[in-house]
Amino acid sequence: MAHDEIIDRYSALARAADAGQRVADCGPDAFEQGGFGAAGYDDVTVLPEGAVRASLGCGDPVAVAELRHGERVLDLGSGGGIDVLLSARRVGEQGKVYGVDASTDMLELARRNAEQAGAVNVEFLHGTIERVPLPDRSVDVVISNCVINLSGDKAAVLAEAFRVLRPGGRFGVSDVVAAHVLDEQARQRAEQRIGCAAGSLTVQEYRGLLAAAGFVQIAVTLSADHGDGVRSAIVRAVKPAIGPGMEIRPMREGDAADVLAVYQAGLDTGQAGFEISAPGWEGFTASRLPHLRYVATDGDSGEVLGWVAASAVSSRPVYAGVVEHSIYVHPGCQAHGIGRALLSAFIAAAEDAGVWTIQSGVFPENAASLILHQALGFRIVGTRERIGRHHGVWRDVMLLERRSAVTGA
């Protein structure tokens, strides 16, 4: 369904709800039995009837996101405002909840519902979920209720969710997913029954897009079964945490110059590796996995302050879950927690990707690196004595290893 058609459809539902009708985006039986609308909540008695009538979701993202007092929350596709109003009660007067919707009819309905509920800590914004009208790093939590599946550009939606979240922020949504790729007939049957399955992602596709956006600790938990492989799901993820004024995100082609400059600065200390000079970008990228590459950046300038990336240890299938990583922080930016934040994010992303063992080699003299790795669960497997010459001196390398307690346990 085209973007304009979706807006028209939900605008009509908003007008129906405003006229006192109970609206549903599919057949009434499927709506109730599938836990859609108000049926997906434990208690909506505290809300205006208009908000309850206009509820078209497939779960309770407010409960999924585990909202806390004082947090700032964004609801993608806020509709009649039910999740915004429930969130506003959770975060209290010190918190703030934004709802963004492309339908002006839904926004008008939501604003009237908020006024009736006496909610003063809410704001409804006109915009799309692919281009959210909020600044970078402005909210603590992003929620959504059976809306992302409607988007024709889900990668853009998840990239926007990542952008507006502060470091350490949470993504917690209810959505409709497909257990496997659906053929056209299965999609049409599901669409006729539940109204919002035509564009649903598979679980693996959802996980892949979240990872590509930069999220870690990704979990997709299936719930109600709607037939033909279509399920409601709870989707959770986290934006990597780092100190104030900084951000961790996936490495991009445009980071090449900064990444190589940090690499060279590390090599110039004499303690980061055997190389004398950093490779060109082509050599750098060819020797490393296309995923599991992250940078820590200055939040304002975008300058790369550090990076982490992984290489496969072997092409043999038995070693598919074993990687070797490198982590570099610019010498002028050390002692700010950047290395710990980068490595923590990398470990979480590696476990999301099915990696069960991470290896690395560190010079014994690089005490800071050894302390960092051991603090995050690496153990010293042994010492490779006089393994190579560095500036004419034979040097030892300590082999470190971290075995996941999650993947392959």
Can you give the residue ranges of every domain in the chain? 3-238, 246-403
Could you state, in chain order, the average pLDDT of each consecutive group of 10 residues for the chain (409 residues)?
59 55 50 49 55 57 86 95 93 96 93 92 96 97 93 95 98 88 57 57 94 97 83 94 96 97 96 94 95 95 97 94 96 90 98 97 96 97 96 96 90
Q: What is the pLDDT of residue 179?
A: 76
Question: The tokens of 409 are what?
Answer: 């346990």
Alpha carbon distances (Å) from 388 to 311, 327, 385? 20, 20, 9
Q: How many CA atoms lie within 13 A of 282 on its CB side?
A: 0
Q: What is the pLDDT of residue 34?
A: 47
Return the number of other C-beta atoms located less than 10 Å from residue 56's C-beta: 27
Contact 25, 196 (CB under 8 A): yes
Which residue, 406, 355, 359, is CA-closest to 378? 359
Q: What is the pLDDT of residue 332?
A: 87
DSSP-derived secondary structure letter, 63 = H
Contact 341, 248 (CB under 8 A): yes
Q: What is the pLDDT of residue 339?
A: 96
Which residue, 104, 70, 72, 83, is CA-closest to 174? 83
Q: Rounding to the nearest 10 degrees, give the CA dihedral for residues 200, 204, 209, 212.
A: 180
Q: Is 85 exposed, middle or buried (0-12, 13-18, 19+ CB in 10 A)?
A: buried
Question: The tokens of 352 are what?
Answer: 């999301």
Nearest-angstrom CA–CA distance, 301 and 398? 36
Q: What is the pLDDT of residue 397?
A: 97
Any residues with CB less than 8 A from the CB of 244 and at least 6 apart, and which?
none
Q: Rounding to the nearest 10 degrees, give the CA dihedral for residues 174, 176, 179, 182.
A: -160
pLDDT tens sequence across 147-193? 999 898 999 999 999 999 999 999 999 998 987 665 566 555 555 54
CATH 3.40.50.150 fits domain 3-238: yes
Beta pairing, strands 304-312 & 294-298: antiparallel
Which residue's structure tokens are 């082999």?
399
The answer to whether the predicted template modeling score (pTM) of the entire model surpasses 0.85 is: yes
Q: What is the pLDDT of residue 405?
A: 92
Terminal alpha carbon distance of the chain:
43
Q: What is the pLDDT of residue 178?
A: 86
CATH 3.30.70.330 fits domain 246-403: no
pLDDT tens sequence across 307-364? 999 999 999 999 999 999 999 999 988 878 999 999 999 999 999 999 999 999 999 9
Which residue's structure tokens are 């938990």?
221
